[in-house]
Structure 1
Amino acid sequence: MPPDQFPRKRRTVEKLLHYITQRPGRVLTSFGVVMVVAMLLTGLLHFEQNILALLPQDNRSFKLLSHTVTATNGQDKLYVLVRGVKDDELLKAGKSLVRDLEGLTIKQEPAFSKVTMLKAEAVSADDFLALLTTYLEKPSLFLTEEELGELSRLLHSPQQLDKEVRRSLSLLATPSAPMLTKVVSIDPLNLRRFLIDKIHALQGGMAFSDGNAMLSRDGKALILIASPGHAGSDTAFAHELIAAAHELFASYPHLSIGLTGGYAIAAQEEALMRGDILNCLLGSVLGIGLLFLLAYRRLSVLLFIIIPLAVGLQLALGVMAVSLGRVHMIAVAFAAVVLGLGVDFAIHVYDRYASERLAGLSPARATRRAVCNTGSAVLVGGLTSLTAFAVLTSTASPVLRQIGWLVSLGLFFCLITILWALPAWLNWLEGHGRVHAPKPFSSLGMQRVSRFVKTRPLLCLLLSAVVLLACLPGLDRLHFERDLEALHPEGLEAVQVRSHIQEHFGSGTIPMLVSWQSSTEEEFFRQSRRIDKMLAAAPATQISSFTSLTTLSDGKKLYLDHFDHTLLDQALAAYGLERASFPALNSFLAALTDQEAEPGSFLADLHPLHQRFFFRDDQGIIGVTWVNLPSHAAVAQLDSRMARLDPAILVVSLERAMANLMDSAKSGLLRTVILATILVMAILLIFFGSLSKTLLVLLPTGLALLTTAGLMGYLGISINLINFIIIPILIGIGLDDGIHIMDRFRENNDIGITLNSTGRSILLTTLTTCLGFGSLALARYQVLSAMGLLTITGVLSCFLYSVFTLSAILHLRGKHG
């Protein structure tokens, strides 16, 4: 069959090609419209950087871990660690720093809504007033029967009532009177003391010295807690606030001051990753562009190869902006993958077009050859790469799903724009005399490679085997990273300060969470009381302390028996006060004396400080008891106790939860690899129509994966949730190389001709991908830099196994029939 006569099934393609070659101006105009739409859609996108988004979301351990993070409200606060002097000098410096931070402004707005160094004020004034109001409205949610008895004795003692009223009035004369006036006007009897004791219990896990300040026991460190004026999602404000805080800290040269907390970690990680991503994308574009210019020496073509790639990427981000609204910063980093793989498609199409023009074909006929012959291999290679990433959309990790959508959509749009706009641009340039036919270009050394493969195929196979065997022992040293902390950027100030806080304020206990599932509130409280009873019975050598919702409240309606308002009214009247002036106090007493009132739901509308003890999901109510253990040996004893009580009770620590989540993520990722392999094999079987050819095309990728994994083991690089992405990357690159070699070999049945032509484009795509990921290797974020280095290693391995191993096998098969 003559090369330009195509089967009937290609008639539609030919009609499209005829339109592209005859009406390139219209095609380019429509492309321009799409480019504008893509840019507008991309402007809708917002970014996030929560590291927990890497984890499977449907796992009970994740729900528990996520709940503890959000319930403790640590993500919205800044923690300031102050060191350098001791005791009274440190407290004096802390007070000065509090005043300066309270006066700090960002764009004429207060930088912080609240700054404190006092334990009692660790809960902000507004939060405390809201909590106090809830407590006075619903006292049964905050009191136990034992505390109710103490309250009854207070209300029936004229001496105690008089003492509390005098104490409240004396507080109004203190320097903090403006704040205390609100508290006393709500609670003139100091009923809040029951509440404050519970707040202190909720602040367990950290060890402070005696006194009101959050001072370490050795007096060498002080913690300040600051509530930023804007939420952490306002990244611009967060960056300005942290910069302003550091500028302020510089005015205290005798002190060592550091920032930490979820707010600081998120802001610093976002700044680091945003810079890395921009540098990586810029480096990728410059490196790829320079290589293309050196190889083909046509600036006009280079520009229009980069533009379709950028449009394809922007369309993918635009679709995600419309469908998701927010994308994780780590997912955006994989835009380099779209550029790296997308430029491979463009190089194969342009290289074939330029080769056919050099052979004397017209622009129209060269376009047909490039799109219908090489384009079919490009399409199959694109589909296999797309499939390898598309399976990530089925994982339980939101970030991996976003990476799957970004890369697969980006590759899909890049394929369309390259096969649609690039041929039109080439024909338009030549039709308008803007450029002449391509000049002869170098084979880039592939002629020597082809001669070596043809003359020494067995040596090629032997060398491939030696390299593989040398790398295989490294597989024994390879492991899956189970510590999520290892995914934080190294050297981040906020992470280092957090570890310093643990050194100074750690209580020496091991925090654990005991969790259970209930279908009703009655079952929830019953199980919580059973757990409380078992923990209370344990000796101090096994349990240091524990806190649950049922240690703060009995979870039932409480009543004051035989209460008479007379004594209270007399105590207030002695100071010219009336009970009617304190509606919150009347509500408190009414709630405890009205036996006809319905108790309602105890878990509804609770203050966030209580919500750390439970959350709801589609399975019902999940209860949480916070336990501190004195030693690691006590962990096994706690496991044993809870198993005897109820085997369904889950006992976890942060380390256990992370290990469970990582194991879940690992099994999910393995399933995606298996699914991707099956789908890719199906695509290759359909394209080549031969199982043997399909397996040969898969061979370089399989060998490259083993080689890369072995090198990871030698270098001590573990597999984690981010660098795992090199597997679909290598599947995309390796299969692309193998597909083009096999497809071109089918055309001419000569490995020399195949490597002289297709080998050059494969070398270029390998180098462009290495340049694209070479910029990632320079990232400051160690996870991205390691992934860049591994991808370069894997891509070079794919090239070597494709050009030497696969080509040698094809040559030997052809030589021996």
Structure 2
Amino acid sequence: MSDKRVAERIEAVMGALAARNHRKPWQALVVAVVLVVLGGFFARTLALNADMVGLLPKSFPSVQDLEKMRKRFGGQGYVVVVGMGAEPAVLKQFVDDMVPKAAQLPEIQFVNYQRPRPFFEEHALYYVDVPDLKVIQERIDARIAWEKEQANPLFVRLDDAPPPPIDFTDIEQKYAGSASQRMANGEDLYFIDPEERLVVLMLKPKGSSADLNYAKKVVGQVEDFLAQQDFSKYGPTFKTAVTGTFKKKMDQQKMITADLGRASGIAMVLLVLYLAFHFRSALGVVFTMAPVLAGLSWTYGFVGLAYGKVNLLTGFLAAVLGGLGVEHGIHLLGRYTTLRSEGQDSLQATREAFSHTGFSAFIAALVAALTFLSLSISEFAAFHEFGIIAAVGMLVSIASYLLILPALLGLASRWGWTPRTHVGSAGPLALLARWLPRSYRAVAIVVGLGLVVLISQAWRVSFSYDASKLEDVRVPSVSLDRSVNRILGYSQTPVVVLTDSRDMEHEVVRQLEKRKAERGKESTIDFVGALVDLVPKQQQEKKTVLQAIRQRLEKLDPERMPKDVRSNLERALKMTRAEPFQRENLPEAVRRQFEGLGGADAGGVVLVYSAINLADGARTRTFAKEVRGMNLPDGTQVSAAGEALIVADILDMVAQDGPRILGAAILSVLAAMWLTLGRLRTALICMLPTLLSVAGLMALLDLKFNYLNIVVLPVLIGTTVDAGVHLMQRLSEPDSDFISVYAETGRAIVGGLLTSAIGFLALVIAQHPGLNSIGNVANLGFGVNVVIVLLGFPSLLLLVERWRRKHSTTAAPAENT
């Protein structure tokens, strides 16, 4: 059976189904209503999950490691309470008042509110290796000898050399990057910024921030606690705010949910307004929107059954699918109206419109569905689910129009409705249709040169790994969280390596510090912390050396020392009096950071703090490589766990899947169009607008792609091919006239592209920068495509047609001779 025969059969089936629904409208509408009720029932519990962890398959090691970490260690990050707007002494009083109360909250493990400086300063010399302690001892011996010489009246010094120092800060500096030093560093004991008048309390919850219901629970608990306090004693300008990982995730969820609701609402309003302008008829709006709304309910019923949730990308599909679905309605209802104006009755016009224009809409929907489906080859759930849901939505939209629109037209015609006649010879597109055949060569040259210029700049387009640009810094919890990190001096959310023994803990620390030393300044590790290092080895041996040092220091007379040396002497004496200690002697806030939910018996952890901003995706990928794949002596391998590693895997996956998805999208579109249109050449011509618009998109305005907006590329390929299909199909009909076809179909094409763009246009006003970037890139692509479809593509068709006529007329005389 020929390809043309397949197309004719599909046309006949679609025309027959449309005619049947036109004759029996109530049956068709009852079926539609039942399906809408079922769709609404299954979609009723759908909710947005904006957590990044859910976007990777559970089989990924980073996901499995994170799940193990959460079960044993708990969630990452804190609920951070910030006091602000008072003098430093008042802020410290606020902290001292709140800590005992906050620690009693049911969901709080502990409160971290001070640097453990006193403890680590007192025991600083226990963190110094024995050979370095002996160097200190030698320096003191040298100073004692010098003092004795100075005290000897018979001794004459022949030079002006300064006395040997008893300062050993240079040796302490060797250990400045250790966890004990980094955790104790800071100008103040409290986490305070006197200039900004901020003080920080970090409350560690028992659960994970990935569980948004738990995050709401614990943040609500903290906020309720603060609301019950009387802060008037801290001054009239004093106030509190909540930030941290848990609060940021809540705010992000709230913002995205509001953005998606706003975008969907605005998109629907804009669609209705445009349809009212396009058809100049209220019924025209109803005929077009009713199938779209029904199709959306069916689609999201499928989503409820298949997934039970929507993610950051699939959440805004309602607005996008609404715009894409309306495009079919514009073509179908526009063709129906034209046929009625030509004298056909309602049944004939319905059958004819769905046989030909409906077939073109079916091809466009099938091509778009296959293009969307190419996203499903990715393991990245945001792409995978987006592809499947969008593909289902595109096919459902055609089924919805085939079921509902003929039924509505049938009822309207029985009740005496006559469609408003659109004059094809009037309007800007009609003028353009008459002008193009006279100027197509110049238009083709200008558009072609413009595209060449754009394509030549494609090398400038790059992929942005900077996730910070996908966060809205205007959200108070996000901007405040950055201030908290600055005050702390290190990240609130280190990645975690789970350990089963102290030997394993020590080996992990050793390997990570070795990697850090090997990479030097290029290392992305700030410091590594573990209880095995916070409780140093050889303490008894070190105690013996420290006692010897103290005995020597006590021989020096402080009164004979300069003031600066005297302070060093007093500090040294204090450190040498420190006694050995064990884990239970560490400050509670320090010890609890390294203990799991089951306490000390649940196993240990190694905390790895990054030296980079984890919003920098490119460096986060480097950090992930540096903290993964540590081979232990027993043959096992361990890796760090944390959301930073999830982000790194997502970025790796997008970088790997992007070219494959784009290639699959192009090939699937070409194959589908070749099969349905019958000729490879016709399929290629229909694809040209899409391919050129994508190339122009990549060059225009030097916009960067990210792991969210890159999904727009296959979307553009799948949706904008619709214009080429409709124009080619209409021009291939017998006795078709370019001017009349362009005037009628061009109007529908523009309307279709505008309604497709409306779904994305609503995202331009979103507060979330990631959603905003999707809207910007998509509408840029649609804008480029309008120019190509209205000018470039018709000019190309006219060039091909004139070339064909010229060669056919020159070949005919040659055959006759």
State TM-score, norm by structure 1: 0.70
Match of 1:729 in 2: 715
Alpha-carbon distance in 1 for matches of 2:778, 2:624: 42
Match of 2:23 in 1: 22
Q: Does 1:359 align with 2:342?
A: yes
Match of 1:221 in 2: 199
Point out the more displaced range, 462-471 or 55-64: 55-64
Q: Does 1:626 align with 2:607?
A: yes
Which one-letter code corresponds to 1:33 in the other structure?
A: V
Instruction: Choose which of 687, 691, 697 in structure 2 pairs with 1:698.
Output: 687
What's the % identity of the aligned pairs? 19
CA shift at 1:794, angstroms?
A: 0.8
Change over 3 Å in CA distance of 1:460–1:52 after alignment to 2:
farther
CA shift at 1:488, angstroms?
A: 2.3
- Which structure 2 segments of 5+ residues have no match? 1-6, 117-177, 537-594, 614-618, 805-817
Q: Is the 8 A contact 1:351 1:761 kept in 2?
A: yes
Q: Is the 8 A contact 1:98 1:116 kept in 2?
A: no
Q: Does 1:233 align with 2:234?
A: no
CA shift at 1:374, angstroms?
A: 0.5
Alpha-carbon distance in 1 for matches of 2:779, 2:601: 48
Name the SS of the counterpart of 2:751 in structure 1: helix
Change over 3 Å in CA distance of 1:533–1:723 after alignment to 2:
closer
Match of 1:811 in 2: 798
Which one-letter code corresponds to 1:439 in the other structure?
A: T
CA shift at 1:350, angstroms?
A: 0.6
Change over 3 Å in CA distance of 1:508–1:501 after alignment to 2:
closer
Deviations along 1:626-671, one digit per CA (max 9) or x if unpaired, are 3458999999998999799999776899878745541322211221
Q: Is the 8 A contact 1:46 1:321 kept in 2?
A: no
Which one-letter code corresponds to 1:32 in the other structure?
A: V
Match of 1:337 in 2: 320
Q: Is the 8 A contact 2:472 2:769 kept in 1?
A: yes
CA shift at 1:712, angstroms?
A: 4.5
Alpha-carbon distance in 1 for matches of 2:258, 2:772: 13
* Alignment size in residue pairs: 659
Q: Is the 8 A contact 2:321 2:759 kept in 1?
A: no
Match of 1:183 in 2: none
Name the SS of the counterpart of 2:242 in structure 1: strand
Alpha-carbon distance in 2 for matches of 1:495, 1:25: 54
Match of 1:708 in 2: 697
Match of 1:405 in 2: 388
Which one-letter code corresponds to 1:90 in the other structure?
A: L
Deviations along 1:199-218, one digit per CA (max 9) or x if unpaired, are xx999975576999766899
Match of 2:745 in 1: 758
Alpha-carbon distance in 1 for matches of 2:204, 2:490: 22
Instruction: Choose which of 770, 779, 794 in structure 1 pairs with 2:781.
Output: 794
Match of 2:704 in 1: 718
Q: Does 1:781 align with 2:768?
A: yes
Match of 2:475 in 1: 492
Instruction: Choose which of 648, 667, 672 in structure 2 pairs with 1:678.
Output: 667
Match of 1:598 in 2: none
Change over 3 Å in CA distance of 1:31–1:539 after alignment to 2:
closer
Point out the more displaced range, 73-82 or 737-746: 73-82
Write the mapping of 1:73-92 to structure 2, written as runs, cut at 5 A. 73-74=74-75, 77-85=78-86, 87-92=88-93
Q: What is the Cα-based RMSD across aligned positions, in Å?
A: 4.6
Alpha-carbon distance in 2 for matches of 1:515, 1:718: 37
State TM-score, norm by structure 2: 0.70
Alpha-carbon distance in 2 for matches of 1:635, 1:757: 57
Change over 3 Å in CA distance of 1:691–1:227 after alignment to 2:
same
Deviations along 1:442-484, one digit per CA (max 9) or x if unpaired, are 6542112212221111111122123223433542332212233
CA shift at 1:805, angstroms?
A: 1.6
Change over 3 Å in CA distance of 1:101–1:809 after alignment to 2:
same
Which one-letter code corresponds to 1:692 in the other structure?
A: R
Name the SS of the counterpart of 1:816 in structure 2: helix
Q: Is the 8 A contact 1:480 1:720 kept in 2?
A: yes
Alpha-carbon distance in 2 for matches of 1:291, 1:73: 51
Match of 2:299 in 1: 316
Q: Is the 8 A contact 1:737 1:799 kept in 2?
A: no
Name the SS of the counterpart of 1:328 in structure 2: coil
Alpha-carbon distance in 2 for matches of 1:723, 1:374: 32
Change over 3 Å in CA distance of 1:307–1:612 after alignment to 2:
farther
Instruction: Choose which of 401, 418, 425 in structure 2 pairs with 1:436.
Output: 418
Alpha-carbon distance in 1 for matches of 2:796, 2:612: 61
Q: Is the 8 A contact 1:57 1:398 kept in 2?
A: no
Match of 1:165 in 2: none
Name the SS of the counterpart of 2:48 in structure 1: strand
CA shift at 1:606, angstroms?
A: 7.6
Instruction: Choose which of 382, 390, 395 in structure 1 pairs with 2:373.
Output: 390
Alpha-carbon distance in 2 for matches of 1:27, 1:772: 28
Q: Is the 8 A contact 1:331 1:399 kept in 2?
A: yes
Alpha-carbon distance in 1 for matches of 2:410, 2:378: 43
Which one-letter code corresponds to 2:679 in the other structure?
A: S
- Which structure 1 segments of 5+ residues have no match? 1-5, 104-109, 123-200, 555-604, 615-623
Alpha-carbon distance in 1 for matches of 2:359, 2:181: 65
Instruction: Choose which of 716, 723, 732 in structure 2 pairs with 1:746.
Output: 732
CA shift at 1:387, angstroms?
A: 1.4
Alpha-carbon distance in 2 for matches of 1:539, 1:20: 71
Change over 3 Å in CA distance of 1:347–1:204 after alignment to 2:
farther
Q: Does 1:665 align with 2:654?
A: yes
CA shift at 1:732, angstroms?
A: 2.4
CA shift at 1:261, angstroms?
A: 2.4
Change over 3 Å in CA distance of 1:7–1:764 after alignment to 2:
closer
CA shift at 1:749, angstroms?
A: 5.1
Point out the more displaced range, 233-242 or 497-506: 233-242
Alpha-carbon distance in 2 for matches of 1:510, 1:224: 12
Alpha-carbon distance in 1 for matches of 2:110, 2:637: 41
Deviations along 1:11-32, one digit per CA (max 9) or x if unpaired, are 5445423321211121112212
Name the SS of the counterpart of 1:302 in structure 2: helix
Change over 3 Å in CA distance of 1:436–1:259 after alignment to 2:
same
Alpha-carbon distance in 2 for matches of 1:540, 1:382: 57
Alpha-carbon distance in 1 for matches of 2:107, 2:68: 25
Q: Is the 8 A contact 1:59 1:661 kept in 2?
A: no
Q: Is the 8 A contact 1:345 1:415 kept in 2?
A: yes
CA shift at 1:225, angstroms?
A: 1.3
CA shift at 1:273, angstroms?
A: 1.3
Name the SS of the counterpart of 2:212 in structure 1: coil
Match of 1:447 in 2: 430
CA shift at 1:763, angstroms?
A: 1.0
Which one-letter code corresponds to 2:697 in the other structure?
A: T
Which one-letter code corresponds to 1:26 in the other structure?
A: Q
Deviations along 1:296-327, one digit per CA (max 9) or x if unpaired, are 12212312322221221122211111222222
Change over 3 Å in CA distance of 1:662–1:417 after alignment to 2:
same
Which one-letter code corresponds to 2:238 in the other structure?
A: L
Q: Is the 8 A contact 1:512 1:652 kept in 2?
A: yes
Write the mapping of 1:302-313 to structure 2, written as runs, cut at 5 A. 302-313=285-296
Which one-letter code corresponds to 1:789 in the other structure?
A: N
Deviations along 1:722-754, one digit per CA (max 9) or x if unpaired, are 111211221123201111111111114543232
Alpha-carbon distance in 1 for matches of 2:265, 2:59: 37
Which one-letter code corresponds to 2:387 in the other structure?
A: G
Alpha-carbon distance in 2 for matches of 1:361, 1:502: 72
Match of 1:562 in 2: none
